[in-house]
Chain A
Amino acid sequence: MSADNNDHSPESHDVDHLGHEAHNHGSFRSYMIGFVLSVILTAIPFALVMTGALPPQATALIVMAFAVVQIVVHMIYFLHMNSKSEGGWTMLALIFTIIVVVIALSGSLWVMYHLNTNMMPATHEMSQMSS
């Protein structure tokens, strides 16, 4: 690869007095770490599901855990998230977004799951009536 001769020094990543980072794009090393981790974290869930080595319940839990870890890896190594960029405002926006997303997702699934189960007897009766 032609990109391995990067030699930018940490001095070029100075933070000015307003807290704006000059340019933090990571290094070749950090991108490769992120990439290798992502490949591993992608390959294992696919392998688990494709081979069916574990019972479905365990597979589902492991796959979801790997997804969460991989999202964090992407955030750190590809999106260069840290608590200091833009004076901490990107992190604050991210935390707020995560809170809203968690509320929306868990709320929707929880409410609609109970709605579904409570509606079940009606559809069940209907299917019994028709049969």
Chain B
Amino acid sequence: MSATATEIDPNVFHLEEEPHHEEGSSTMLGFWLYLMSDCLIFAMLFAVFGVLGGNYAAGPGPKELFDLELVAVNTAMLLFSSITYGFAMLAMDRNNQRQTLIWLAITGLFGLAFLGIELYEFAHLIHEGATPQRSAFLSAFFTLVGTHGLHVTFGIIWLVTLMVQVSWKGLIPANKRRLMCLSMFWHFLDVIWIGVFTFVYLLGMVR
């Protein structure tokens, strides 16, 4: 516009220099916002299950299909994995790389046990003819529980990735930040599972 623009432009009101943010200082908040949006996905799937959960289409219902003892074992696996991840974070706070990796590995094993039991349950249901195509109840069930299982699967992949990164680069700030994000993700999945075992399995049995 004018020659004075290089000096002080009266139309520009922002600071000459952006305030300096430490690298990754907004990562935790950003990841929390992602988790909240993920929460909305699960809320929609819960709503679908709540609406369609009673439509058995003359097929099998929760009482014929669900094995609560198996679900209880599954819940225990996820709960154990939550506390062992907590121990990994405490080891990380002490900058103890070896213990962090050990606790992460134990967490991963509990996660795999959870997935294994869930896949066994799914295979059992499908073998009995209770496929997702059988009724609206089963479609909603497989979508909701399957989405949670998919999250756990990606959580385990992420966990293994971080274990490799930590063993290569050590507990550098970037890796600590990543471990903290996965920590939130992992505990968040446990929170979702509380909703699943309560509304799908337990309330399905008393419905």
Contact = CB atoms under 8 A, between A and B. Distances in A.
Interface of B is mostly: helix
A113 to B, nearest CB: 8
A97 B29 contact: no
Contacts of A6: 90, 93-94
Contacts of A1: 87
Contacts of B206: 49, 56, 59-60, 63
A64 B83 contact: no
Contact of A25 (B40, B69, B89, B197): B89
Given A31-B83, A38-B82, 4 more contacts: A6-B90, A23-B93, A46-B202, A74-B190
Contact of B40 (A31, A45, A67, A101): A101
Contact of B29 (A3, A63, A86, A100): A86
Given A31-B86, A97-B40, A64 B94 contact: no
Contacts of A31: 83, 86-87, 90
Interface residues of B, number: 52
Interface in B186-207: 187-188, 190-191, 194-195, 197-199, 202-203, 205-207
A79 B203 contact: no
Given A2-B99, A67-B198, A100-B43, A25 B93 contact: yes
A46 B187 contact: no
14 contacts: A3-B90, A20-B25, A25-B89, A28-B87, A42-B76, A49-B202, A63-B206, A70-B194, A71-B191, A75-B191, A78-B82, A100-B43, A101-B43, A108-B47
